[in-house]
Every structure is written in structure tokens, then in C-alpha cells.
């Protein structure tokens, strides 16, 4: 098997490229058939690429070919967003009466699927502390069908022991699905650790340029066929142009991640020592309580960090206001630095108690380090952290 940078460039070279050097954009809603027999065959070709674009398109197949090789899986598929990937998979894999285990620290949309959507459909759910593999075991019931994992988690960068939880789940015939958005296959391959299905918000690092909404699922072909059967019904189709843009983004994923990793690490180390900063959540810091586990299952730690300002809510808001490069935005994983203050973003959605229960401190800022020059980002963040930066004597 080739290296990851080679795979990102060549894995799709035999998929509907013809003699075009760059992949053509198949901007079509449907395909035509020569005869009734061919038409009938195309109609049942799961994750195919020659019937109807909601069922599959060559641009989807090209992205899937690259993603499967990057994630070390048999197959992959694309969806209209990360949430479309999650809901299609969950609706395919569980039924009324089943039980699902998730994490307390997890992406907000995933939390809402666990706490609102699934219970409404008669699926019971339990959320556990992801830092404790035994908590997953205690949550098991005879009806448990699926575990929804996320590591590192959004926005606290907590780590799940993917191998330990995958082994536990397998022993109990429970499927595991891991959100690999923060790590990307450059830094972590959940399937190599025993996870069944990997999913992504490709809106983030995989595309990397903040100009596409997309989702990805990667895993065994048989499981993806089941998910595809539902995705066709939910209409979670990714537009051909967006699939093409995602593929273009993927070409440089390994290059971009190298810089995101370097910038995340440099910012974490610089801010960790700043007197205005109470705590930095970043798995690459030896001070992270799960640094040893993160080092075992990851080869880099990404560009997202949680910065807890000592001055609380107002200090976090002021820090964001003073950042010169990172703008306030809910997204992450793009070439441009972005930052968000969860406590103020969630004010309209969650009560103060719900925010506190999620473990998010009022002074927490989530910073997504882009691919700008490391020195510029570090100088900017130190200046924004407050006058203390200039007045320090050491």
C-alpha cells in the first residue's frame, strides 16, 4: 500500500477519469442506459455511479476511492454533510427498542441525536464519560446495538481509548462508529484500532477550505450498503460540484495537516504558560491528562485547541475580540484560523446548567489554528491573551 500523500493523489485515477488529467465534473442528475437490462442492473447497484445522482455519481465514487484508501477501509461513501452521514448510519443500524451508547463530550449535533432524535424514535441512549472505558461496559444492556465515539472530542479535546472500547464492543456484538473529524486519517485511523465505521464532517479538515458542506462514511462494504439503502431514502446526496471540490481539497490533506499539527502544538505550548490562561486543552501537551493514550493512538494532534481564560466569560470574549487572524466562526479545520466562544454561542440554545453539565467552562475558547505562519499565530495569540503578555518578566 502506498503512503498517504500518494494515495490522496492517485487512489481515484481509474475511476471515470477517461483521458482527462483532472477529474471531470459530472454535473448531471441522472444517467441513461442502452437497454432495459442495463437500466435494471444500474438501479440496484449500491453506491453505484450510473443511474441517478441521488443513488451515486462518478464524483462521489472518486472521493470514496481516495477516502477508503486513506482510512484503510474496504469502502467509503459521501453525504451532503457530516450530520447526514451520522443520521443515515444511525437510522440504518438501529431500530425501535434498541439501545445506543454515546459520549458526554461530543459534537452538539451528535449530542442532539442521542438526547432528542433517538429517544423520540423509541431508541434508548446512555451517555458516558469517554475517558473511562469501564463506563462503556457498565452502560451495556442486552439491547445495545451501537456505540457512537468521538476522539478527540469537540470542544474539550478529550480522548477515547478506541482500541479498548472497540474490543469491548466486539466481544458483545455491538457496532462502533467513530467521528474522526478532528484527527483525520493523517493523525489517526480508527479502523486500524478495531472500530467498525468511521465518519467525518468533511466540511472541516478533509475539504479544508471552508467552502463545502459534506460528510463521509468509511468501513466494510456490507455495512455501507445498509447505510446507503437509508441515505437514498433520506436524500442525503452530495452535489457533484461539491464532491469535486472535496476531492480537490483531499489532494493536499497530508500537507495541510502537517502545518495544522505544528501550529496547534506551538499555540498550545505558548498559551499553556501564559498567566492569563487557566488551562489549555490539547492532547499534544504532556499536561493533558490523556497525553500518553493520545500519543499511542495518534501520530499528530491537529490544529484545534481549547483555551480556558482565567478571567472567565468576559475575558474569553475579549480574547476573541483581540485576535487579529482568527475570526469568530462556528466552523473549524480550514486554512484560515477560526475561533469560537462556546458559552456565548450556546446562550440562545442551552441553559447555564446545561452548559455547565457539558463540562464547558464560561472562559473556554475553541481555537482552530489554520495553516498561516506559526510565528504569526503565536505572536497574535500571546498579544490577545492580554497585557500580562507584555508585562511578563521572564
Ligand X SMILES: *Cc1c(COP(=O)(O)O)cnc(C)c1O
Contact positions vs ligand X (CB under 6 A): 81-83, 107, 109, 154, 179, 181-182, 201, 203-204, 213, 215
Q: How far apart, in whole angstroms, are the C-alpha atoms of residue 279 and residue 287? A: 10
**Least distance in angstroms from the C-beta of 304 to ligand X:** 9
Measured CA to CA in angstroms, residue 169 lies from 148, 149, 164 at distances of 11, 11, 9
**Shortest gap between Cβ of 265 and ligand X (angstroms)?**
20
Question: How many angstroms separate the CA atoms of 363 and 306, rounded?
Answer: 10
The residue among 31 and 182 lying less far from ligand X, judged by its C-beta, is 182
Beta carbon nearer to ligand X, 50 or 152: 152
Query: Which entry of 161, 179, 196, 317 is annotated as an active-site residue?
Result: 179
CB 283 within 8 A of CB 343: no
Minimal CA–CA distance to 380: which of 278, 286, 257, 266?
266
Q: What is the DSSP letter of 192?
A: G
What are the phi and psi torsion angles at 117 (to 5°)?
A: -65, -55
CB of 203 to ligand X, least distance (A): 4
In 3-state terms, what secondary structure has residue 266?
Answer: helix
Whole-number Å distance between alpha carbons of 280 and 287: 9
145 belongs to the catalytic site: no
- 35 among known catalytic residues: no
Q: Whose Cβ is closer to ligand X: residue 155's or residue 284's?
A: 155
Question: Strand 215-219 relative to strand 75-79: parallel, antiparallel, unpaired?
Answer: antiparallel
| Catalytic pick among 17, 46, 54, 170 | 54
User: What 3-state class would DSSP assign to 278?
Assistant: strand
Nearer to ligand X, 69 or 179 (CB): 179
Q: Minimum distance between the CB of residue 336 and ligand X, rounded to whole angstroms?
A: 16
> Considering the complex, what minimum distance in angstroms separates the CB of residue 368 from ligand X?
9
Residue among 200 and 279 whose Cβ is closer to ligand X: 200
Q: Least distance in Å: CB of 154 to ligand X?
A: 4
Identify the active-site residue in 12, 55, 104, 107. 107
**205 flagged as catalytic:** no
Residue environment code for 180-201, b if the CB has 16+ CB neighbours within 10 A, otherwise e: bbbbbbbbbbbbebbbbbbbbb
DSSP letter (8 states) at residue 169: H
**345-349: which pairs have CB atoms within 8 A and are 24 or more residues apart?**
346/108
Comparing CB distances to ligand X, the nearer of 60 and 204 is 204
- Active-site residue flag, 55: no
Quickly list DSSP for 34-74. SSHHHHHHHHT-TT-SSSBTTT--HHHHHHHHHHHHHHT-S
Q: Which of 204, 256, 279, 366 is labelled catalytic?
A: 204
CB of 169 to ligand X, least distance (A): 20
What are the φ/ψ torsions at residue 299 (nearest 5 degrees)? -105, -5
- Residue 161 has phi, psi (to 5 degrees) of -75, 90
Nearer residue to ligand X within complex by CB, 58 or 82: 82
Q: Which residues are catalytic?
A: 54, 107, 179, 204
Amino acid at each position: 500500500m502506498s503512503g498517504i500523500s500518494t494515495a490522496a493523489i492517485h487512489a481515484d485515477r481509474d475511476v471515470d477519469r477517461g483521458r482527462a488529467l483532472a477529474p471531470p465534473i459530472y454535473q448531471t442528475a441522472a444517467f441513461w442506459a442502452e437497454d432495459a437490462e442495463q437500466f435494471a442492473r444500474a438501479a440496484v447497484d449500491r453506491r453505484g455511479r450510473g443511474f441517478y445522482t441521488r443513488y451515486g455519481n462518478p464524483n462521489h465514487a472518486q472521493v470514496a476511492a481516495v477516502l477508503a484508501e486513506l482510512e484503510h477501509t474496504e469502502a467509503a461513501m459521501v453525504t451532503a454533510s457530516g450530520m447526514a452521514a451520522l443520521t443515515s448510519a444511525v437510522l440504518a443500524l438501529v431500530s425501535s427498542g434498541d439501545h445506543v451508547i454515546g459520549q458526554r463530550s461530543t459534537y452538539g449535533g451528535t449530542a442532539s441525536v442521542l438526547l432528542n432524535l433517538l429517544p423520540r424514535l423509541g431508541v434508548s441512549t446512555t451517555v458516558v464519560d469517554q475517558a473511562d472505558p469501564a463506563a462503556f461496559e457498565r452502560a451495556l444492556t442486552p439491547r445495545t446495538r451501537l456505540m457512537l465515539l468521538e476522539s478527540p472530542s469537540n470542544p474539550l479535546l478529550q480522548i477515547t481509548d478506541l482500541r479498548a472500547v472497540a474490543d469491548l464492543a466486539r466481544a458483545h456484538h455491538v457496532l462502533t462508529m467513530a467521528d474522526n473529524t478532528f484527527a483525520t486519517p493523517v493523525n489517526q485511523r480508527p479502523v486500524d484500532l478495531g472500530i467498525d465505521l468511521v465518519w467525518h464532517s468533511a466540511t472541516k479538515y478533509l475539504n479544508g477550505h471552508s467552502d463545502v458542506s459534506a460528510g463521509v462514511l468509511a468501513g466494510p462494504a456490507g455495512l455501507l450498503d445498509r447505510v446507503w439503502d437509508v441515505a437514498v431514502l433520506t436524500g442525503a446526496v452530495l452535489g457533484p460540484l461539491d464532491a469535486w471540490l472535496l476531492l480537490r481539497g483531499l489532494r493536499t490533506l497530508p500537507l495541510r495537516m502537517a502545518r495544522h499539527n505544528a501550529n496547534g502544538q506551538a499555540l498550545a505550548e505558548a498559551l499553556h504558560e501564559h498567566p492569563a490562561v487557566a488551562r489549555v486543552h490539547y492532547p499534544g501537551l504532556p499536561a493533558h491528562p490523556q497525553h500518553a493514550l493520545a500519543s499511542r493512538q495518534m501520530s499528530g494532534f491537529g490544529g484545534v485547541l481549547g483555551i480556558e481564560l482565567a478571567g472567565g466569560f468576559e475575558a474569553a470574549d475579549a480574547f476573541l475580540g483581540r485576535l487579529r487572524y482568527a475570526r469568530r466562526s462556528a466552523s473549524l479545520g480550514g486554512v484560515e484560523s477560526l475561533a469560537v466562544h462556546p458559552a456565548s454561542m450556546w446562550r440562545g440554545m442551552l441553559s447555564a446548567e446545561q452548559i455547565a453539565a457539558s463540562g464547558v467552562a464560561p472562559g473556554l475558547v475553541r481555537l482552530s489554528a489554520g495553516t498561516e505562519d506559526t510565528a504569526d499565530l503565536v505572536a497574535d495569540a500571546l498579544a490577545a491573551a492580554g497585557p500580562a503578555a507584555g508585562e511578563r518578566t521572564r
